[in-house]
Structure 1
């Protein structure tokens, strides 16, 4: 791993590092935490005439991560820490989920490394107590046909938590202001879509130099909770002849006496005119003590293109979900979801233009 040595003189001048003293802060110590979710359920999926696969039946799904976190406070009051998230299930594409440094103080917070942007992290959306229909979990139970275009994760087709070009945890620099009178602002700089030990980007052929701006407001007005969010992100440089990808989102949540209502919206544009997505999520929830119930709906769609009367790349997605949870003890929650998901396309010449599935899943979620 290559390491960059920063000039300490300039950093001291900026007040980021205090001069050593006999009473210097303790060396950073790291603790291990994380979560594990195990789900068991049954899905009944409509079979397509042109597809011989049979996806109906019982299955077990797993999701788990180990988190290494640590924070130390320097003599000047500034805190420095790390957050490294390791996939606890084998993942050939991204075994280390997120890995970034945290610097925070009265000035706000800075994140440096592989982490989601301010657009993604500052978005508000309806509460969900089972599997996440606003994060794409339903795609693990109802299989999307190969002739249906559109990606679920970080895309409006399956989530209102979005990133420009679906960049996920690419290397970036993010700054969050302190929360003042309920308001907070976050900005991210994204050099490229690559992450981890990424090579120096070629600005003639790579998508580069992106940014996101996110803002939200949250406040309790005498027992009435209000949350509002909005954000935008784009890349400013890319290969010749391609559009610069962008994404945007907005969210609203209200709550009173255990009840909550929420709605969120997102849209995106890709590197071509045909790669345009939008989606929205609405939901209601009630929680009291250890238990809660939520009801939600998600709709996503992807525009296609029509050439010489032939349409391709178009897709729609709808999911309804009723979920419940019960806290069995500290860090131990039982949950379940009854859901229905449908995929549809208007592509010309597609033999099967829709498929749908109904599923009931129960699970145990552990946090540690």
Structure 2
């Protein structure tokens, strides 16, 4: 698989070398964009056996600033850049994604810190409020500090069907997307290991390495209905010496739209082998939009298996969450949104109790 990817890159590079000088092309000029989301909500959280009091109002935010730009050479090949800066303090990952883009009649190449083709080509139900299938409910349900595991939540079926093996997420990678033919498109990603923002050479005797992720989808119209279907699979091909840890994951999704209605479903499964993050999750939903108004009803269920030793289970967690959401476009780049949600988080771990949470959240989403 690596040879195919490297071969494709070599063909593109040869075409650029053989072309005439890019005398008419302009140097890339960076543009500033991004989004800001500010939310205020009220939650009631019930956790038996706990002394915590999480009932009340809360304010949360999620914002990024994006630096983008591109130029098209005389030979028709487009080069671009995308750098995404977290606008809230994030000690673990202040630069969210940072990658180079090459486009042409051959398709598209991404090189750098970015999600895999398995993630980016996935279809899931439409959601008009706080994101259900990316894990925002964990913040409003008060799971952190409850004793219920939050490990393996993001980019894993416990919290999302947008899963990637080993939760590799924005690891440094090379991705190639084919042109779309007859509604079909395929993407393939290769990542040396699961790390990002680092030039350290991967030690193949110390960690799982050489991730390959494949995504494919189809979109088209039939008798007035829009159809989207996706599937993805990813795996680390090499494990550390003396380890069987070769994380793998797969997902499928579908959306059908007719008139203003859309119906969607998605499923993901992960086998992490040694860290207890094995599990699966699914998301179903229905949505309706008319003019500036959108309404959605969605449900998510996800589970993390944990590990059991001598009859004692640790790290197990399961969630069941439903959201009724709506948004209204107030103007270009300005949207008001709200979500009424109910979440249940529980665990089979000894001494860990169950959480029942109900919350109403409203906010403004700005894109620029």
Q: TM tier, shorter chain?
A: over 0.9
Q: Does 1:134 align with 2:133?
A: yes
- Residues 166-175 or 297-306, more deviating: 297-306
Q: Residue 341 of structure 2 corresponds to which residue in structure 1? A: 339
| Cα distance, 1:147–1:138 mapped onto 2, change above 3 Å | closer
Residue 62 of structure 1 deviates from its aligned partner by 0.5
Q: Distance in 2 between matches of 1:282 and 1:12?
A: 40
Residue 56 of structure 1 deviates from its aligned partner by 1.5
3-state SS in 2 of match to 1:16: helix
3-state SS in 1 of match to 2:138: helix
If the length of structure 2 is used for normalisation, what is the TM-score? Answer: 0.93
Q: Residue 191 of structure 1 corresponds to which residue in structure 2? A: 192
Matches within 5 A, 1:150-161: 150-161=151-162
* Unmatched 5+ stretches in structure 2: 1-9
* Unmatched 5+ stretches in structure 1: 1-9
Q: Residue 359 of structure 1 corresponds to which residue in structure 2? A: 359
Q: Distance in 2 between matches of 1:308 and 1:79?
A: 58
Residue 310 of structure 1 deviates from its aligned partner by 2.4
Contact kept, 8 Å, 1:336 with 1:360, in 2: the verdict is: yes
Residues 225-269 of structure 1: CA deviation (Å, up to 9, x unaligned): 000000100001122223200111000110000000000000101
Residue 314 of structure 1 deviates from its aligned partner by 2.0
3-state SS in 2 of match to 1:139: helix
| Cα distance, 1:230–1:13 mapped onto 2, change above 3 Å | closer
Residue 11 of structure 1 deviates from its aligned partner by 7.4
Q: Residue 7 of structure 1 corresponds to which residue in structure 2? A: none
Q: Residue 277 of structure 2 corresponds to which residue in structure 1? A: 275
Q: Distance in 1 between matches of 2:16 and 2:258?
A: 42
Q: Distance in 2 between matches of 1:150 and 1:262?
A: 27
Aligned length: 355
Residues 257-307 of structure 1: CA deviation (Å, up to 9, x unaligned): 000000000010114174311000000000000001000000001123333
3-state SS in 2 of match to 1:46: strand
3-state SS in 2 of match to 1:15: helix
If the length of structure 1 is used for normalisation, what is the TM-score? Answer: 0.93
| Cα distance, 1:12–1:123 mapped onto 2, change above 3 Å | closer
Q: Residue 16 of structure 2 corresponds to which residue in structure 1? A: 16
Contact kept, 8 Å, 1:135 with 1:152, in 2: the verdict is: no
Q: Residue 266 of structure 1 corresponds to which residue in structure 2? A: 268
Q: Distance in 2 between matches of 1:12 and 1:209?
A: 23
3-state SS in 2 of match to 1:14: helix
Q: Distance in 1 between matches of 2:302 and 2:276?
A: 15
Q: Residue 6 of structure 1 corresponds to which residue in structure 2? A: none
Contact kept, 8 Å, 1:279 with 1:299, in 2: the verdict is: yes
Contact kept, 8 Å, 1:269 with 1:276, in 2: the verdict is: yes
3-state SS in 2 of match to 1:196: coil
3-state SS in 2 of match to 1:119: helix
Matches within 5 A, 1:1-368: 14-17=14-17, 18-20=19-21, 23-49=23-49, 51-144=50-143, 145-148=146-149, 150-239=151-240, 240-272=242-274, 274-347=276-349, 349-350=350-351, 352-368=352-368
Q: Residue 7 of structure 2 corresponds to which residue in structure 1? A: none
Residue 30 of structure 1 deviates from its aligned partner by 1.2
